[in-house]
Chains A and B, each alone.
Chain A
Amino acid sequence: MAPIAIDAQALLQSTYSILPEILVVATALFVLFVDLILPEENKRVLCGVSIIGVALSLFAVFSMGPARISGFSGAVVHDGLGAFFEIVILSACALTLLMATGYSEWEGTHKGEFYSLLLLSTSGMMFMAKGTDLMTVFLGLETLSIPIYVLVGFHRNRMSSIEGALKYFLLGAFASGFLLYGIALIYAVSGTTKIPQLAAMLLDASLAGNPMFLAGAGLLLVGLAFKVSLVPFHMWTPDAYEGAPTLVTAFMSAAVKAAAFAALIRFLLLALPGMQPAMGKILWILAVLTMTVGNLSALRQDNVKRMLAYSSIAHAGYILVGMVSGDVLGGQASLFYLLVYAFMNIGAFGVVMLIAQKEDEGYDIGNFAGIGFRYPVLGALLTLFLVSLGGIPPTAGFIGKFYLFSAAVKNGYIGLAVIGVLNSAVSIYYYLRLVVYMYMMPAGAEAPAPRPPRVAFSLALCASAAVVLVLGILPRSVLEFAERSVLSLLM
């Protein structure tokens, strides 16, 4: 056997292409080590170290620019799309870590494991966003999932936390199986797992019509649909979201969704033209079901955390509307929405966390009565985030939804757009219901004061609010970035 020639240049380029991931993983390992030697009262340092690591990684993404850097024989690629999603995921992670400064104190998650699991999961997401090989996507998904299973169950003494973790783990294991089996079937037919090659082969009609390939693509879709919790693969979501420590819920709802959508977008935008019209119809049905079931279920929730969990399902449906459209505008709309969603949803969870005080019963909607006037800043922030989630101008949520639905109308899916906007109108009802409690209901007699946020926590909330407002009024630059990212994929 001839020795494998090592091409130093290629190795260097490959390493460079995953520099942001390397930084995150290195920080995760560093945190784990330092945790061993750090005395208990100084654990807070770990949070700071993690934030620095994420910031460095974010800096690396920005300095690498939009240029296309392919690595490891085409297993990963750093391109516009990858960079965009890395920014979304790292921002979500950074917001989560900033909020952890306060949250960890009162929930006792100031543990090295917490931060390093969070970072490892983030690195998995980033690999998913960059993976151009289905195997990379699968590995990313597993790296993402396993730490998240643990994080959901991090509150070892709370039944709901353990229940949520177990449900998520069991169903998630199945989903991974589906995904892997789908990849196997696709490989069996086509002989490759590289997404660009598959897309090229799909234009050839024989592969697109091959039942085994279609079964493979379907299974792949199911695996990813599980992670973004599309209906009917959403059963785990409310329980896992409600059971998980709220901070983890916030992180999952934004970052996991973004990562899984990154893989979906990469696969669908390239491969969809070859799989029309069957795939388009399937996505149409999934989008309608997801929006409608998510919103209708959220209508009846009295637990704010659970309400936000169902609303998060509905938002996955909106984002899928962009995928159904399947063109540049649709992709651009989905990207923009995922970014905006990360900020508004984590922001909303952040305020809710401060008000609720304790897990489970603290999230009852009655606890929010009268908050608006007693704590005007918190009330105004939560209202802003909810209004943005509902898609009312002049917030970023409106611009995002506007783009999604305009992509649908542009491609002739007027029915889908109508269902979408009606859903959006339904969602306003339950978002405003919380606002009604905050501003129009008298506070209970022994209503406890919200926790005073730490500086970093306030910073995270202010940053989210600023993003929601600025992108609502001046969305231009980010929209153009999203457009370039999609175009970089299609080139």
Chain B
Amino acid sequence: MGFIDSHILSLMTFLPLLGGALILCLPKGTDNIVKIVAAVASFLPIPLAARLWVAFDRTVGGVNVANQFQFVEHYSWIPSINVEYFMGADGISLPMLLLTALVSFLAVIGSWGIKKQIKGYMALLLLLETGMMGVFASLDFFLFYVFWEVMLLPMYFLIGIWGGPRKEYAAIKFFLYTLFGSVLMLIVMLALYFNSVNPETGGHTFNMLHFMQQSAHNAWLKDFDVRILLFLGLFIGFAIKVPLFPFHTWLPDAHVEAPTAISVILAGILLKMGTYGLMRISFPIFPDVTVWFAVPMAILGVINIVYGALCAMAQSDLKKMVAYSSVSHMGFCLLGMAALTPAGMVGASFQMFSHGMITSMLFFLVGVVYDRAHHRDIDGFGGLGAVVPVYTFFVTVAFFASLGLPGFSGFVAEAMVFLGSFPVFRTIVIFAASGIIIVAAFHLWALQRVFLGPLNPKYAQLEEINAREIFCLAPLALLTLYFGVNPMPILNLMSTSLIKLVDVVKMVI
């Protein structure tokens, strides 16, 4: 276990890539082998993730202290500019790593039915997994940026080649939006690099943990106006990914056109990178600006919650509705983070984890009905509950989880967010609470229109959900339920780090 333990994050990151390379080497006409290789390559990170779960020491914080990170791998990569291959995990990144391992594997299984160019599809999907894992494991800003960008291209191709009718438009829109965000990030990264030093060597550094030591910043970087600009540059970069209003317009297009499994990854993992970036990078590096910017962030969060929910209610396309519900749910993350209280921060992080599972279910379920009916018009169904009871059961579970019914993880997360943020921003949170009602309304309304009422005779022979699809959904449903009833395992995992993060940010006031 020695080698595996000391390189566990690298293995989780690069095993999928290896699988992808292997797939490209397979000859034509071996579609079944391609699928099996892909499934194995994306499954391997799961036992490794389980190992992380078991071996992770829940009592140390990490955040800005190098020796509190676990499973660290630290090598020099490009010595002339001090770029390091620096990976490690703490309570902020660990839940995301677990989520990525699980959702990526399910996405591969969920893509079993892809007919067109399965070889290229699976290779890109595995490359995407490498990018995502890398983002969550990197502690060097340069490395983080490389993985962040590496993720862009496979996503672009997966939407652009295997997507729906307006795939080119959606793919390029996704790409350009995200790229615009990442070039801002690049500039901030360079500004940080040249204006801070590694206290040990005195040279410039890309090490995030060094950026977080305020004493490592030079006079220019200590100037508050400069810090505001740099913070906003990063914030926009991450906000596009979340996506925060008004940078969210790429999301519905990308989701509607993307194939099912890609939507799952997009909503389940990619969106979390935005909020993860804020927690990992923006907050600890610019704690003073974070405090200064807390109220605008909370307001943006509430706009997301309410506006996303209203947009979702207005949709007639089931997938678009789910996409907008993501916008709404990600608003809770931002609200909880902006409160800068332990409960709010933990709630936000738990919401990221929980929403990752719930929204993955939702997109899988939309995919199931789309595969059979070839449309997603909410008003075009009716009474399906009588025809496909098992499918209806899963949809009901997912919808109730998504609207925040007690007993599901979403409820715990949202309750914690409210608990943490209400003492800080009273009026704003009252507005946010109204979002809950709208969220419940559009879920129930959609449920009613699709599954209840008189049966639409066109779908009297609709095929029931099959075993493979249940295999994708069941683990997510069970975990959502389990962590809804007993959230402590996940909360224990992250709370030490998140409480420390709050301390790091608050220290400056």
Interface string of B171-205 (1 = CB under 8 A from A): 11001100110010011001101100000000000
Could you tell me the distance between the alpha carbons of A181 and B425 in the complex, rounded to whole angstroms?
71
Question: Which secondary structure characterizes the binding site on chain B?
Answer: helix
Interface-lining segment among B160-168, B340-348, B432-440: B160-168
Say yes or no: B186 contacts A425, CB within 8 Å: no
Q: Which residues of A contact B183 (CB under 8 A)?
A: 421-422, 424-425
A475 touches B78 (CB 8 A): yes
B474 on the A face (CB < 8 A):
no
8 Å CB contact of A398 from B117, B149, B160, B171: B149
In the complex, residue of chain B having the shortest beta-carbon distance to the beta carbon of A417: B187
What residues on A are CB-neighbors of B171 within 8 Å? Answer: 436, 440
With A and B bound together, what is the CA distance between A414 and B194 in angstroms? 11
Contact B149–A439 (Cβ < 8 Å): no
Known: A421-B183, A440-B167, A479-B78. A409 touches B190 (CB 8 A): yes
Among listed B45-53, B151-159, B211-219, B356-364, interface-contacting one: B151-159
Closest residue of B by beta carbon distance from A441:
B168
The reply to whether the CB of A387 lies closer than 8 angstroms to some CB of chain B is: yes
A residues near B180, Cβ cutoff 8 Å: 425
Q: Which of A373, A376, A402, A417 has most B Cβ within 10 Å?
A: A402
Q: How many residues of A are counted as interface, with CB atoms below 8 angstroms from the partner's CB atoms?
A: 32
For chain B, the count of residues having a C-beta within 8 Å of the partner chain is: 31
Contact B179 A439 (CB under 8 A): no
Residue A281, interface by CB 8 Å: no
Does B149 contact A392, Cβ atoms closer than 8 Å?
Answer: yes
Expressed in whole angstroms, the Cα–Cα distance for A479 and B145 within the complex equals 20
Within 8 A of A (CB), among B476-495: none
Residues of B contacting A429 with CB < 8 Å? 172, 176
Task: Tell yes or no: B430 within 8 A of A by CB.
Answer: no
The answer to whether A405 has its CB under 8 Å from any CB of chain B is yes
**What does the 1/0 interface line of A367-395 toward B look like (CB < 8 Å)?**
00000010010000000000100001110
CB-based contact B81/A436 at 8 Å? no
Asked if B466 is an interface residue, CB under 8 A from chain A, the answer is no
In whole angstroms, how far apart are the Cα atoms of A7 and B335 in the complex? 82
Q: Which of A444-491 contact B (CB under 8 A)?
A: 475-476, 479-480, 483
Q: Is A22 an interface residue (CB 8 A)?
A: no
Check A439/B160 contact, CB under 8 A, given A394-B146, A429-B172: yes
Whether a CB of chain B sits under 8 angstroms from the CB of A432 is yes
B419: min CB distance to chain A, Å:
41
With both chains docked as a complex, state the minimum distance between the C-beta of A378 and any C-beta of chain B, in angstroms.
14
Q: Nearest Cβ in chain B — how far from A146, in angstroms?
A: 40
Q: From known contacts A392-B149, A414-B191, A429-B172, infer whether A483 and B80 are also in contact, taking CB-CB under 8 Å.
A: yes
Q: Which residues of B contact A376 (CB under 8 A)?
A: 120
> What's the Cα separation between A429 and B149 when bound, in Å?
15
Interface string of B312-348 (1 = CB under 8 A from A): 0000000000000000000000000000000000000
In the complex, whether A358 has a CB less than 8 A from a CB of chain B is no
Q: How far is the CA of A376 from the CA of B168 in the complex (A)?
A: 19
Give Cα A440–Cα B156 distance, bound, in whole angstroms: 11
B150 near A: Cβ within 8 Å? yes
Q: Indicate if the CB atoms of A436 and B160 lie closer than 8 Å.
A: yes
Bound complex: CA A475 to CA B161 (Å): 32
Chain A CB within 8 A of B79 CB: yes
Instruction: Tell me how far the C-beta of B183 lies from the nearest C-beta in chain A, rounded to whole angstroms.
Output: 4
**A436 close to B153 (CB less than 8 A):** no
Does B80 contact A428, Cβ atoms closer than 8 Å?
no
Assess the B152–A392 pair: CB atoms within 8 A: yes
Q: Mark A9-47, 1 if CB is under 8 A from B, else 0.
A: 000000000000000000000000000000000000000
- Nearest opposing residue in chain B for A332, CB measure: B80
Chain A: minimal CB distance from B254 (Å)? 15
Report the Cα distance A376→B171, complex, angstroms. Answer: 20
Q: Nearest Cβ in chain A — how far from B438, in angstroms?
A: 36
Cα A479 to Cα B77 in complex, Å, equals 12
Which residues of chain A have C-beta atoms less than 8 A from B145's C-beta?
393
Q: Contacts A440-B168, A483-B80; is A409 near B160 (CB within 8 Å)?
A: no
Q: Compute how far the CA of A440 lies from the CA of B145 in the bound complex, rounded to whole angstroms.
A: 27
A373–B117 CB distance below 8 A: yes
* Inter-subunit contact A406/B146 (CB<8 Å): no
Distance between Cα atoms of A480 and B153 in the complex (Å): 29
B203 to chain A, nearest CB (A): 13
Contacts of B191 in A (CB 8 A): 409, 414
Given contacts A422-B183, A428-B175, A439-B161, A409 and B149 within 8 Å (CB-CB): no
Contact with A along B131-150 (1 / 0, CB 8 A): 00000000000000110011
A479 to B150, Cβ gap below 8 A?
no
- Which residue from chain A places its CB closest to the CB of B190 in the assembled complex? A409
What is the distance, in angstroms, from B85's C-beta to the closest C-beta of chain A?
A: 11
Is A387 a contact partner of B153 (Cβ separation < 8 A)? yes
By the criterion CB–CB under 8 Å, are A425 and B176 in contact? yes
Flag whether A410 is at the interface (Cβ < 8 A): yes
When C-beta atoms are compared, the residue in chain A nearest to B78 turns out to be A476
Q: Mark A403-414, 1 if CB is under 8 A from B, else 0.
A: 101100110001
Cα distance A403–B190 in the bound complex, in angstroms: 10
Which of A402, A417, A436 is in CB contact (< 8 Å) with B172?
A: A436
By a CB distance below 8 angstroms, the chain A residues around B160 are 436, 439-440
In the complex, which residue of chain A has the Cβ closest to the Cβ of B186? A421
Contact between A392 and B190, CB atoms less than 8 A apart: no
How many Å from the CB of B180 to the closest CB on chain A?
Answer: 6
The interface residues of chain B lying within 8 Å CB-to-CB of A387 are 153
Tell me which residues across on chain A come within 8 A of B193, comparing CB atoms: 406, 409
Nearest CB of chain A from residue B233's CB, rounded to whole Å: 9
CA distance A476 to B193 in the complex (A): 18
Which of A394, A399, A409, A432 is the one whose CB lies under 8 Å from B150? A394
User: Which residue on B lies nearest to A402, using beta carbons?
Assistant: B186
CB distance from A414 to the nearest CB of B (A): 7
Contact partners of B186 in chain A: CB under 8 A:
402, 405, 421
Q: Which listed residue (A409, A424, A436) contacts B194, Cβ 8 A?
A: A409
Write the nearest CB–CB distance from A259 to chain B, whole angstroms.
26
- Contact surface of A with B, Cβ cutoff 8 Å: 373, 376, 387, 392-394, 398-399, 402-403, 405-406, 409-410, 414, 417-418, 421-422, 424-425, 428-429, 432, 436, 439-440, 475-476, 479-480, 483
9 extra interface residue pairs, beta carbon distance < 8 Å, beyond A417-B190, A439-B160, A439-B161: A392-B152, A392-B153, A414-B191, A421-B183, A425-B183, A428-B175, A428-B176, A432-B156, A436-B171
* Contact surface of B with A, Cβ cutoff 8 Å: 78-81, 117, 120, 145-146, 149-150, 152-153, 156-157, 160-161, 167-168, 171-172, 175-176, 179-180, 183, 186-187, 190-191, 193-194
Interchain residue pairs A-B with the least CB separation, the first 7:
A421-B183, A409-B190, A393-B146, A393-B149, A410-B194, A406-B190, A425-B179
Name 9 A/B residue pairs within 8 A (Cβ), A-sorted.
A405-B187, A409-B187, A409-B190, A409-B194, A425-B179, A429-B172, A436-B168, A436-B172, A440-B171
